[in-house]
Structure 1
Amino acid sequence: MPIAVRAKTRLLTLVAAALAVAGVAACDANSGPTTGGSGEVRQVTVVGSGEVQGTPDTLTANVAMEAIAADVTGAMNQSGERQQAVIDALVGAGIPREDISTTQVSLQPQFGADGTEIIGYRANNSIDVKIRELSAASQALALIVSTGGDATRINSVGYSIEDDSELIRDARARAFQDAKARAEQYAELSGLELGKVISIAESGGAAPPTPMPRGEAAMAVPLEPGQQTVGFSVTVIWELA
């Protein structure tokens, strides 16, 4: 009988020890900075923005040559020949061949009134033409139209800045300074001082070029590059002391 009592006492001791270890582990899992009391970590999160403007120096036109023929070979040959004539004319006018790139080649059947019988094929060859001399942009578009004739399709015209690295640096600096000014104001309003930066996250960049209307009507619109905006948004977290 005494042996049984000793075994039961030892079992209870082991259970109590296991519960104590579990309690310590639970405390360790919940340890870390608290949101209240003397160990509170005070911080402020702000979003700053900055924008700068620059004048575009490059125009990119997406143009296509379209042909309709009774058979596949005829449609593809006609659109290909007209597109090659346009490329040769542009290169002859001084546009580097590396600034001309094919963007799409398509071939679609054309159906009759009943929607079931194929009566021909439509071929379309599209290219992007990058024009770095903006003073020659109007002449380049006119050359494309005159060479391609009625088969010409001007899909879009957009402006861009070839090297916008300095504008991006400027916009980023303005965004950070805007964020810092906001954070300093919040610190002052709360009776605290701005401490060190905890984290920085940014977003933004050059605004995409705005395309001109699709179609030959773009030829009647004077080409003006205007201004392009480069903008940045930055989220910064500071400590408050």
Structure 2
Amino acid sequence: MSESANTAGHANTITVTGRGAVNAEPDYFHINVGIEARRDTVKAAYAAATGAVTAIQQRLIDLSVAQDVVGTEALNVHADEQWLEGKTRAVAGYIVTTTLNVMLRYDEGAADIIAAVVDAGGDAVRIHGLRPGVSDLSAAQDAARAVAWADAVRAADMYAALAGRTLGAATAITEVFDQGMVPMARAMSGVDDASLLALPVEAGQSSITATVQVTWQLL
């Protein structure tokens, strides 16, 4: 919490920043699926990456995952350079990487879908993490705003009392809204048995925060 007092002639004011946070249960999450293929030529690496992506997309279709919740976010091609004896650098092959973003709901067999994605993509798959989300933030936002306002009023009342003053009308209100999310997973790679990835995916809680800066007259 931060506060500042401002004096301009006979108009004394106090400005206080209040912060509030409430918990909300996520109902969906984004899974970031990386595909990486290393081959001797660009063409072979690209073909391998394409094959893995195609297999993953087909598996998602088989599992009734809507195509409009699956999107490609990145595509990169670069040389795999290695240092050889004598400190010389040589091209050992080529690497093609791409990233798929898949939006899933917690209640639609998410753990099995993730396991199926890894199984379909094989060693080319890298799960870079899960990012939870809340479909309807309205109620949680309003609750966080109310907590932030109460926090600002409490602090302003305290400082006014310490100064032997009382609060007058609020003359300025500025809101900065922010949504915080709890990290859900670490990256996974090099898994030999994809069936081991059918682990429970729990929604947990997401922290929805709000910040308000209020200026009051001092009486």
TM-score interval, normalised by the smaller of the two chains: 0.7 to 0.9
Between Structure 1 and Structure 2, whose CA radius of gyration is higher?
Answer: 1
Relative to structure 1, the CA distance from residue 187 to residue 113 in structure 2 (aligned partners, 3 Å threshold; closer, same or farther) is closer
Q: Secondary structure of the residue that 1:116 maps to in structure 2?
A: strand
Which of 210, 214, 219 is residue 183 of structure 2 equivalent to? 210
Instruction: State the shift of 1:233 in Å.
Output: 1.8
Q: Among residues 49, 72, 77, which one is paired with 2:42 in the alignment?
A: 72
Q: SS of the residue aligned with 2:89?
A: coil
Q: Which amino acid aligns with 2:16?
A: V
Q: Deviations over 1:116-137 (max 9, x none)?
A: 3323211112101110244511
Out of 206-215 and 227-236, give the one that drifted further: 206-215
Q: Given the two structures, how large is their TM-score scaled by the length of structure 1?
A: 0.77
Q: Verify the 8 A CA contact 2:168 2:217 in the aligned structure 1.
A: yes
Q: Which residue of 1 aligns with 2:136?
A: 163
Q: Closer, same or farther in 2 for the Cα pair 1:129/1:224, shift >3 Å?
A: same
1:75 maps to amino acid: A
* Residue number among 159, 169, 184 corresponding to 1:186 in the alignment: 159
Give the residue type in structure 2 aligned to 1:184.
Answer: D
Aligned equivalents of 2:101, 2:48: Cα separation in 1:
19
Paired AA for residue 239 in structure 1: Q
Any gaps of 5 or more consecutive residues in structure 1?
Answer: 1-33
> Is 1:226 aligned with 2:209?
no
Aligned-residue CA RMSD (Å): 2.2
Select which of 146, 152, 160 maps to 2:125.
152
Tell me how far apart the structure 2 counterparts of residues 186 and 150 of structure 1 sit (CA, whole Å).
61
Cα deviation, 1:37-68, whole Å, max 9, x if unaligned, reads: xx521222222121110111112111122222
In structure 1, C-alpha distance between the alignment counterparts of 2:138 and 2:186, rounded to whole Å: 29
- The alpha carbon displacement at 1:183 in A equals 2.1
Q: Quick one: higher RCO (CA 8 Å, sep 6+), 1 or 2?
A: 2
- Among 66, 74, 78, the residue aligned to 1:104: 74
TM-score (norm 2): 0.84
Quick check: 1:92 aligned with 2:65? no
The amino acid across from 1:126 in the alignment is: T
Mapped partners of 1:204, 1:170: distance in 2: 12
State the match for 1:42 in structure 2: 12
- State the shift of 1:146 in Å: 1.1
Which amino acid in the other structure matches residue 83 of structure 1?
V
The 2-side partners of 1:105 and 1:130 are apart by 19
1:161-210, Cα deviation, whole Å (9 max, x unpaired): 12212211111122112212322333344343321111112224210452
CA distance in 2, matches of 1:113, 1:235: 56
Structure 2 unmatched ranges of 5 or more? 1-6
Residue identity over aligned pairs, in percent, reads 28
Aligned to 1:236: 214
Q: How does 1:117-156 map to 2 (within 5 A)?
A: 117-156=90-129
Give the SS at the match of 2:11: coil
Q: Number of residue pairs matched?
A: 205
Deviations 1:91-142 (A, max 9, x none): 2212111111111111121235525332321111210111024451101111
The CA distance in 2 between the partners of 1:186 and 1:111, in whole Å, is 63
The reply on whether 1:61 has 2:23 as its aligned counterpart is no
> Larger strand proportion, structure 1 or 2?
2
Distance in 1 (CA, whole Å) between partners of 2:31 and 2:182 is 11
Three-state SS of the structure 2 residue aligned to 1:47 is strand
